[in-house]
Amino acid sequence: MRIIAGKYRGRTLATFRGMDIRPTADRVKESLFQILSQKIIGARVLDLFCGSGALGLECLSRGAREAVFNDISEESLAVLKKNLRALGENATVTRMSFEACLKRVSGKFDLIFCDPPYKANCEGEIFAIVKERKLLSEGGLIVFESERDMFPSAGFECVDTRNYGRTTVRFFAASKASEEVKK
C-alpha cells in the first residue's frame, strides 16, 4: 500500500499481516480520490474504520486540514500510529466502537469514510447518528465501501456508485428534501 498523490506521494505505508484485515486496494483508492479530488483540500475528514489509516492519510497528503482516525482494533491503531510517525503527521486517533466515536466527535466533517468489515450491518446506525448529531458539513459526503447493496436512512441520498469487482463504493450526501426541511 502506498500514498498515491500529494506531499507524501509514493510513500509506502505499513500494513497488516494475515488475511483478517481487508485494506482498500490501490486501484479502488486511486479511483476514489480522482472522484473526491475537489473536496479534499482544506477538508475535515473522519476515517471511521481506519485500519492502517490509508484513506485519511491520503487525504492529509492531498491537503486536508484535519483527519480524525478511529478503529476498535488495537493492532490497527498500532499500524496507523506507525504510519503517522513515518509521515511526520499529527492527528486525532481514537479507539472506540463506531457508535461511540460518532457520539463523541465534535464538529462537522466534509468527508466521512466508512469501510467496515463486509459482514457488518451498521450503515443504518451510522446514518442515524450522523443525521442526529449533524456531523456532515453542507456539501459533505459519507463514503461507504461494501460488497452488498445498501440503502441510506431518511435524510441521505446516494449520489454516486462505483463498482470494482466485489467492492462497491457509494457516495451519500444529505438529501435535498432533508435540506429543505432545515430551512
Residue 33 DSSP SS3: helix
Determine the pLDDT at residue 181: 35
Map out the domains of the chain as residue ranges. 26-182
pLDDT at residue 180 above 50? no
Q: Residue 33 and residue 12: Cα distance in Å, rounded?
A: 17
Q: Which residues fall within 8 angstroms of residue 24, CB to CB, at 6 or more apart?
A: 32, 54, 55, 115, 145, 167
The mean pLDDT value for 141-154 works out to 79
Dihedrals phi, psi of 35, to nearest 5 degrees: -65, -40
In this predicted structure, what is the pLDDT of residue 183?
39
Q: Where are the strands (E) in the chain, listed by range?
A: 44-47, 66-70, 92-94, 109-114, 136-146, 156-164, 167-174
CATH, range 26-182: 3.40.50.150
DSSP at 17: S
pLDDT of residue 1: 82
The predicted pLDDT at position 51 comes to: 92
pTM of the predicted protein model: 0.90
Q: State residue 147 phi and psi, 5-degree precision.
A: -120, 10
Residue predicted with more confidence, 121 or 71: 71
Question: Do residues 112 and 46 make contact, with C-beta atoms less than 8 angstroms apart?
Answer: yes
Per-residue pLDDT tens over the stretch 56-95: 999 999 999 999 999 999 999 999 999 999 999 999 999 9
- What does pLDDT average to over the chain? 88
